[in-house]
Structure 1
Amino acid sequence: MKAKITYLSLCCLLLTSCQEAQDVHMVNNIQQTPIAQVGTQTIYKEDVDAELRDLPSHLQYLSQNKRARQKILNTLIRRSVLSQQAFALGLDQDTLVHRRINRSRDSIMIEALRDWELSQITTPNDKDIQTYYKLHISDFTIPEQIHARHILVRQKSEALAILKQLKQHKDDFASLAAQYSIDDSNKSRGGDLNWFPHGIMVADFEKVAFALKNIGDISKPVKTQYGWHIIELLGKRPAYKQTLEEAQDEILQILRQQALDSWMNDLVKDSQINIINNDDLEPTLQLPINQP
């Protein structure tokens, strides 16, 4: 069975006095702009926007990319066609599938409940924020950090050859990293590792990187399990304690989350719950005692 899919225009229409307004629907008092009809299901512009908002932060720029938005729409259309076919076959009536649908529904409703309760919570006052700050001052200590970049190669001889070039042309670090480094996660950025505190990098790398004293200092080749590194120091930040003003937004979120957790715990505690048979929780597969 082939579903007939009608595509509505994805182009943004410039509204002038001689043009008609774009078709807009109201769904649960929320403005929705339909862009495709897939069988019995309507796909809205807001559905595409929601998918784009769920992308990782470094991909958020795609929300303004027309090709990316078209790709998201195509994905939603495919998902809708396949989902409708599954329902048409009655697969939602399968016991295990039905339970999975219920679990997904529960997760969505819990998220909606959290958002609703957060909107009801009274904003903590200045005294509450100050009290929390004083009691948890150690939590607002920012550790020492450095900003560095590196070139990673497999052999020490390669590292020594690159170091020789750097001694003659120090400004070539980024271009040499792009050309020779085998660390694909940052070679396109000239080997830039951004800012990091102690405990992030492997021990041998960290020891040498934090020992560099002056901005622009370049290390001798450093061996780790990944290969041989040449490190350049780009910046240093000493450890410091955030002021109350700097920590205020974070504390506000913490206090709101604590209030939400307390409300949800009370809700569970006050509910009528009857454990029918704890024996049914026994695992069906007995693992050997020496296995985790």
Structure 2
Amino acid sequence: MLKYKLLAAVAAISVMAVQAPSFAQDAADPVIAKVAGAAIHKSELDLAMTGLDPQLAQLPEEQKRAAALSGLIDVKLLAKDAEKEGLQDDAAFKKRLAYLTERELHNAFFKKHVVDAVKPDEVKARYDAEIAKIPAQEEAKARHILVKTEDEAKAIIKDLDGGKDFATLAKEKSTDPNKADGGDLGYFTKDRMVPEFSEAAFKLEKGKYTQTPVKTQFGYHVILLEDKRKQAPPPLEQVEPQVKQLVMRDKYIELLTKAKADAGVDITDPALKKAYDEANKEEAAN
């Protein structure tokens, strides 16, 4: 688990209902309702709102609050009846409550030492490291004229040799939808075009056009190379969320590695141990 999550609404509210916490009433956490004389505070409603079903989350704010309050009241009503029947003392319930408590503690620890611990300079350093691993790709900026037959393409090349403007010819003769832009394709890397087109375009010198028609699955092209450059990496602002996830992942793995080493993990079921080890190996490799 690499993303911090609050417990699902039912789990969170179940723990809350069983433990029946007493919230201090003040201006910041007012009482918003009462169930069988027991107060429901704003903080409880806020917690219930975090676990709303995704479909309900699309509702207007007041409708979401009403839906969350309705669910919270339902839970408190039945939880009170459950206490009367002594279900809080059921062994299976105690096990589930212990598990939910540990999971929420895990989430709180994760938030404190992973999510909230990520610093801007760590994100920047990881961004620089990842960018350094990526070889800069070459980009070409080109125009093209697409026609159906080789003879048409040869006639266009003859017109270009005679001094006619490439963009003007593209507007007049190209069958490509971008003809209105004079055949302008902007900047592209080799992998964005079909191989025959890319091979011809990247072989050209800046300002030169193909002297023979270039055949692809779309027809026959005449290509003009306007510029070449190294592709700029995406700015940090554009990929910051993804880079932050990498930093969080490293912090999480570091925490778990230390915790496992300090506490020790012993899986007695051979088949389960094998599956666990393989899953962890795969996770570490990603």
Which category of TM-score, normalised to the shorter sequence, fits these structures? 0.3 to 0.5
TM-score, length basis structure 1: 0.44
TM-score, length basis structure 2: 0.45
Give the greater-gyration-radius structure (CA).
2
More helix by share: 2
**Relative contact order higher in (CA < 8 Å, ≥ 6 apart):** 2
